[in-house]
């Protein structure tokens, strides 16, 4: 058994506590509703206040408001869904206070997931680049191949504790869907996973894995048919079947989901901090992770929030280039504005009509028009910074890690690696950059090979043979 893997909830996530880096949120009403169509599956520029007298709460009441990170977060949902969320919040609090629940979660993380995941130094790549040292937190070595299993197991165990028998989940790249299907199989539950039709096509290996594990995969054809539409469909299914448990995969959505997912993913940061101290006798100078919704980044960042000497960097999908405007990227914190999406206030990419804008990324798990509310708060307070890298830079990083270190990264994680390739040469030799390798890239090989084929120089071919003859994956 791995003792203390889950650990206690940090003080800034406890009711009535602000925390060191999270001052008490400015006032927002406790009761909030969405637009006239019910659950806000699209943007609303302003919350609707149910009762004016709630705007007159005292300063003390404002300080105890839960579910906010600064001005972001909250619960913008109709009453029926609000009641379900209240039930979920109460069940989560009770579970986290129950030593038996925490011990069982620790056991599963150790015996089933294979935690702790190791830290690997990329000595070859560091030497090739010059400058600082690159380390990877190896979430790709978890059971199911990504960080998603940490949260999926936690929520599934919570669902079982609540007496639920059916899980509903959304997925982009298929890793959360696979993790949800895995947890459902382990817990003896039914599982339905909603996935954009575009992602079903480009992530076929994970679709097959979900089906083999017993899950029903529903291809969503609406809109762009990617992650945002999968979330829309999953939320709608939950509204239709409130007795099911919605297993949300990232630090997004109405409260308490950002807190729940962050709590279950915080094992990444706690392990990484302890492991780095044991290995190097000090903390890394910087930690970095890719950001779509932001669960893997928040998991890593959580371990270093109280270490101001450690720079926190989130890397967003710049796609074809942020400068090319909406539809060419999914760099929410780099180019978005404040709004409400999927029941919570955050930074969003929205069009002129206030609805979520089309987004693009070579990585199916990152093409989401919003971001976790805590990330938005960390940006605003300056505790973390957020940058973007392009699809081309991501593909270069993918190939370089494969060739140099013998590690095949997920395209999502390759965004953080692309940042590292640019960052390390400017660091001093004694400085260290720790990147969260959030998943493995088996699922992305068809995508990478097809992109290389399309970009291959005339006469060289772009298939496996052509790539081998040139000694590279698109660089």
Distances (CA, A) of 397 to 211, 340, 401, 417, 418: 31, 34, 6, 6, 5
What distance lies between CA 461 and its chain's CA centroid? 36
CA nearest 414: which of 289, 312, 261?
289
Q: How far apart are alpha carbons 237 and 241 in whole angstroms?
A: 6
Q: How far apart are CA 6 and CA 92, in angstroms?
A: 14
Answer yes or no: 122 catalytic: yes
Catalytic residue among 122, 191, 290, 334: 122
Beta strand pairing status for 133-138 and 337-341?
A: unpaired
CA distance 453 to 202: 15
H or E stretch at 48: strand 48-49
What does the DSSP 8-state code read for residue 132? S
User: Rounded CA gap, 116 and 171, in Å?
Assistant: 25
Distance CA 374, CA 378 (A): 6
- Say which residue the tokens 């599956």 belong to: 41
Per annotation, catalytic residue among 147, 329, 375, 415: 147
**51, burial (CB in 10 Å: exposed 0-12, middle 13-18, buried 19+):** exposed
- 147 a catalytic residue: yes
Rounded-to-10 torsion of CA 220, 221, 224, 229: -30
User: In sequence order, what DSSP letters do the residues of 146-171 get, joined into one string?
Assistant: BTHHHHHHHHHHHHHHTT--EEEEEE
CA distances from 447 to 201, 228, 269, 410 (A): 10, 20, 30, 11
Contact 109, 5 (CB under 8 A): yes
Cite the active site residues.
122, 147
């Amino acid at each position: 058994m791995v003792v203390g893997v889950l650990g206690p909830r940090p003080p800034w996530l406890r009711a009535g506590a602000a925390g060191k880096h999270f001052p008490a949120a400015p006032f927002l009403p406790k009761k909030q509703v969405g637009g006239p169509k019910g659950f806000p599956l699209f943007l609303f520029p302003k919350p609707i206040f149910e009762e004016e007298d709630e705007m007159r709460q005292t300063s003390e009441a404002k300080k105890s408001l839960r579910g906010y990170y600064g001005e972001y977060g909250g619960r913008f949902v109709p009453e029926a869904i609000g009641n379900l969320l209240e039930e979920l919040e109460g069940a989560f609090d009770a579970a986290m206070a129950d030593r038996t629940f925490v011990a069982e979660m620790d056991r599963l993380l150790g015996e089933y997931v294979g935690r702790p995941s190791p830290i690997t130094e990329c000595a070859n790549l560091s030497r090739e680049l010059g400058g600082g040292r690159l380390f990877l937190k190896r979430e790709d070595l978890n059971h199911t191949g990504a960080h998603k299993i940490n949260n999926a197991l936690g929520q599934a165990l919570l669902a079982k504790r609540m007496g639920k028998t059916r899980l509903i989940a959304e997925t982009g790249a298929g890793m959360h869907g696979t993790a949800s299907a895995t947890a459902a199989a382990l817990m003896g539950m039914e599982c339905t996973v909603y996935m954009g039709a575009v992602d079903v096509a480009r992530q076929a290996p994970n679709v097959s894995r979900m089906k083999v594990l017993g899950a029903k995969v529903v291809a969503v054809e609406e809109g762009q048919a990617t992650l945002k539409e999968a979330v829309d469909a999953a939320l709608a299914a939950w509204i239709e079947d409130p007795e099911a448990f919605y297993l949300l995969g990232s630090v997004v959505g109405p409260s308490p989901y950002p807190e729940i997912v962050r709590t279950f993913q915080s094992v990444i940061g706690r392990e990484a901090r302890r492991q780095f101290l044991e290995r190097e006798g000090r903390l890394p100078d910087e930690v970095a992770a890719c950001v779509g919704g932001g669960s893997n980044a928040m998991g890593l960042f959580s371990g270093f929030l109280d270490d101001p000497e450690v720079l926190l960097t989130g890397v967003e999908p710049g796609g074809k280039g942020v400068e090319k405007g909406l539809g060419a990227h999914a760099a929410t914190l780099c180019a978005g504005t404040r709004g409400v999406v999927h029941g919570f206030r955050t930074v969003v990419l929205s069009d002129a009509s206030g609805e979520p804008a089309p987004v693009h990324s070579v990585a199916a798990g990152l093409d989401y028009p919003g971001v976790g509310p805590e990330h938005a708060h960390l940006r605003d307070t300056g505790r973390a910074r957020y940058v973007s890298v392009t699809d081309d830079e991501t593909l270069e990083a993918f190939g370089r890690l494969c060739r140099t270190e013998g590690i095949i990264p997920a395209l999502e994680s390759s965004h953080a690696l692309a940042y590292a390739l640019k960052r390390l040469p400017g660091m001093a030799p004694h400085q260290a950059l720790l990147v969260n390798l959030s998943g493995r890239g088996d699922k992305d090989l068809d995508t990478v090979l097809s992109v290389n084929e399309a970009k291959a120089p005339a006469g060289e071919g772009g298939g496996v043979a052509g790539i081998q003859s040139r000694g590279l994956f698109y660089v």
